[in-house]
Structure 1
Amino acid sequence: MVSDAVSEAYFPHELRPREAHEPERSVDVAVTVVGQLRIARIGWGAEVAVRSDHPGAYGINVPLGGVLETTVAGRTVVSTSGLATVNPPDMPSDITRWSSGCTIVGVKIARDLVQREAVRISGDTDAQIPGQVDLSRPEAASWFRLVRSVATQPADDPLLANPLVADQLAASLTDAFLLAALPGPEAVGAPRPRIVTRVLDAMRADPARAWTAGDMAEVAGVSVRRLQEGFREYVGKTPRECLTDLRLRGVYDELAAGASDSVTDIAIRWGFTHSGRFASAFRKRYGLTPSQVMRET
């Protein structure tokens, strides 16, 4: 049954058609596995109701169109395009209406990964994730763009097949979601320059490391939000932007020095794993392609 394929791709569930059209004949399902996280695209092509307990993982459902009505613990959440419904793990969720025109991007994140990253993000051992996230907010929109970008990667992408890279990417996606979903804590003292210095020194020492926001915060000994506040106040950039600047400068210096390695090898050595994004960032920064810099030396 196609419903079984959806269960395997996302969550085990009970499907109940709400109209005469048979959803099994027109289901649309695709999945991208990223370590302890997976991204699924699901559309039934008919109006249905779905029940799931979401065992062991959070399920974040983002409608690309149509209507998704979900009831959890007596509370009903109605999401349309631009809103995400968050289903907690190990708790019955009833999607009482999944409209025929509704295709979702569903993000499944292991409960343990969310709990670990939530502590690193907020410093709170009992962070409460809301039942709905507004994707029009900048941080949430950025997270969803990243989700959709990862979902376009081919199934045989060697990077996703690498367990270390996949785990780091899953952590980055989880961090980005939590930054978008968790309410900002009250400020507790002003961030200090040493917070920024520690992280910059660590990034300079190991620029090719697959840094996540949680990794950077751990080095600084603060939450991710406090780290970001410190960078905004003392650098005027995010930690991620500083890391990209550091990596681009390293690549440029090697190319300008006449390094014998290929552009791809040098970029990978400095932590760039996506050639297209690297080339675009390099040209935007220096006004030249990496190959042009190499030829001019």
Structure 2
Amino acid sequence: MPSHDLNHAIHETRDVHEHAASLALWDQHYEQISGGRFEGRIEELRIGPVQVFREQTSRALVQQGLPRPGTLTLAVALTDEADSRICGHALRPDGGYAVIADGEFDLVTHGAFDVLALDIDRQALADHASRISGVVVAVDDLPDRGLHGHDPQQAELRALLLDTLRTARESPGLLQHMAMRRALVQTACDLLLSRIHLPLADQEPPATAASRERIVREARAWMRAHAHEPIDVPMLCDALGVSRRTLQYSFEAVLQLSPVSYLRALRLNGVRRELMRGSAEPVADCAARWGFWHLSRFAAEYRALFGEKPSETVARTRLALH
């Protein structure tokens, strides 16, 4: 498991060269090519092997540089007043994305520009891919050149990255919980892996009903033994020695539920048990300890499962205890 050390920073700049030097661990050089006072802002969050940042610039720029060493970077535009190009390819907020490999890149903007980026250590990404696929993925299996594509689910991606930065900015205490940091790192790895399309020779799904039932039985037994921990799918894959695909196939065949849905219900029940003990701990902190980092989504899922809001559980429990 990689280190999940945490750092969040916001840089407000008034000079393009100062701005280029603001992003931690990136080697960048910017030239301003349109007139007017420059204004820039970078908000960045680093959690172990993952860096999420949002960069806003007010003037046309020519950028060259190197990303954080040993990483892959996914970039998506939020707004773009004019045609901007990264390594010669358009980067627009209507679904286009770019993956920057561990090498030099160039970006040309022709006006105000707002971009989100996610970069991940290549070794951590390969390790995560190995865990969920059940086959060994080496660093050399990852792309060694830039990729470009169109993503019909980009709105969801943008919202997720913005929510991550908002949590770091507005509720930094929640990120002190290891389960939440781990959930964010794993979600980030899944996001990037889904866009580089590794040709993984995944394990074959279990062939017999008996083998599927055995996998689910062992999974549930392991979950019961670790009921007070914020379990996630990669942990379960590691414990059982199976791939995510095998786990998915088995759970859907036996329980008509995905392992993600089952684990979500398990963690929601874990939060509910703690809330019903009458603890003075804020709901958000309790949810974060169980790996729920998207708090509005957590509240909606909690209400859908239990028929009441988390705050209503707390109020009812306190009334009963007094």
Normalising by structure 2, we get a TM-score of: 0.73
Question: Which secondary structure does the structure 2 equivalent of 1:28 belong to?
Answer: strand
Aligned residues: 285
C-alpha distance in 2 between matches for 1:80 and 1:261: 47
The aligned residue for residue 173 of structure 1 is 188
C-alpha distance in 1 between matches for 2:178 and 2:264: 23
Alignment deviations for residues 252-297 of structure 1 (CA, whole Å, 9 cap, x no partner): 4566xx6343474794597255565443322221222313552468
Question: RMSD between aligned alpha carbons?
Answer: 3.4
Select 1:111's aligned residue among 122, 125, 129.
122
C-alpha distance in 1 between matches for 2:40 and 2:313: 44
Alignment deviations for residues 88-128 of structure 1 (CA, whole Å, 9 cap, x no partner): 12x12222x22324310011212222222122233233544
The aligned residue for residue 271 of structure 1 is 290
C-alpha distance in 2 between matches for 1:178 and 1:28: 28
Select 2:61's aligned residue among 48, 57, 77.
48
C-alpha distance in 2 between matches for 1:94 and 1:145: 26
Q: Is 1:134 matched with 2:150?
A: yes
The aligned residue for residue 255 of structure 2 is 235
C-alpha distance in 2 between matches for 1:60 and 1:272: 24
Residues 172 and 213 of structure 1 are in contact (CA less than 8 Å); yes or no, is this contact kept in structure 2?
Answer: no
Q: Is 1:78 matched with 2:90?
A: yes
The amino acid of 1:85's aligned partner reads: A
Q: Map 1:128-167; keep pairs closer than 5 Å.
A: 128-129=142-143, 131-137=147-153, 142-155=156-169, 157-161=172-176, 165-167=180-182
Q: Is 1:69 matched with 2:85?
A: yes
Residues 122 and 142 of structure 2 are in contact (CA less than 8 Å); yes or no, is this contact kept in structure 1?
Answer: no
The answer for unaligned runs of 5 or more in structure 1 is none
Q: Map 1:199-238; keep pairs closer than 5 Å.
A: 199-238=219-258
Residues 272 and 278 of structure 1 are in contact (CA less than 8 Å); yes or no, is this contact kept in structure 2?
Answer: no
Residues 148/115 of structure 1: CA separation in 2 closer, same or farther (3 Å cut): same
C-alpha distance in 1 between matches for 2:233 and 2:196: 15
The aligned residue for residue 26 of structure 1 is 39
Give the superposition deviation at 1:144.
4.2
The amino acid of 1:94's aligned partner reads: D
Normalising by structure 1, we get a TM-score of: 0.78
The amino acid of 1:271's aligned partner reads: W
Structure 1, 120-129 or 267-276: larger mean CA deviation: 267-276
The aligned residue for residue 58 of structure 1 is 72
The amino acid of 1:261's aligned partner reads: S
The aligned residue for residue 283 of structure 1 is 303
Residues 35 and 167 of structure 1 are in contact (CA less than 8 Å); yes or no, is this contact kept in structure 2?
Answer: no
Residues 174 and 180 of structure 2 are in contact (CA less than 8 Å); yes or no, is this contact kept in structure 1?
Answer: yes
C-alpha distance in 2 between matches for 1:135 and 1:57: 21
C-alpha distance in 2 between matches for 1:25 and 1:148: 24
Q: Is 1:100 matched with 2:111?
A: yes
Structure 1, 48-57 or 265-274: larger mean CA deviation: 265-274
Give the superposition deviation at 1:239.
2.3
Q: Is 1:36 matched with 2:49?
A: yes
Structure 1, 270-279 or 232-241: larger mean CA deviation: 270-279
Identity %: 19
Structure 1, 174-183 or 261-270: larger mean CA deviation: 261-270
Residues 74 and 119 of structure 2 are in contact (CA less than 8 Å); yes or no, is this contact kept in structure 1?
Answer: yes
C-alpha distance in 2 between matches for 1:234 and 1:166: 31
The answer for unaligned runs of 5 or more in structure 2 is 1-14, 207-211
C-alpha distance in 1 between matches for 2:274 and 2:119: 40
The amino acid of 2:279's aligned partner reads: D
C-alpha distance in 2 between matches for 1:182 and 1:211: 26
Give the superposition deviation at 1:63.
0.6
Residues 74 and 192 of structure 2 are in contact (CA less than 8 Å); yes or no, is this contact kept in structure 1?
Answer: no
Structure 1, 215-224 or 182-191: larger mean CA deviation: 182-191
Give the superposition deviation at 1:59.
1.9
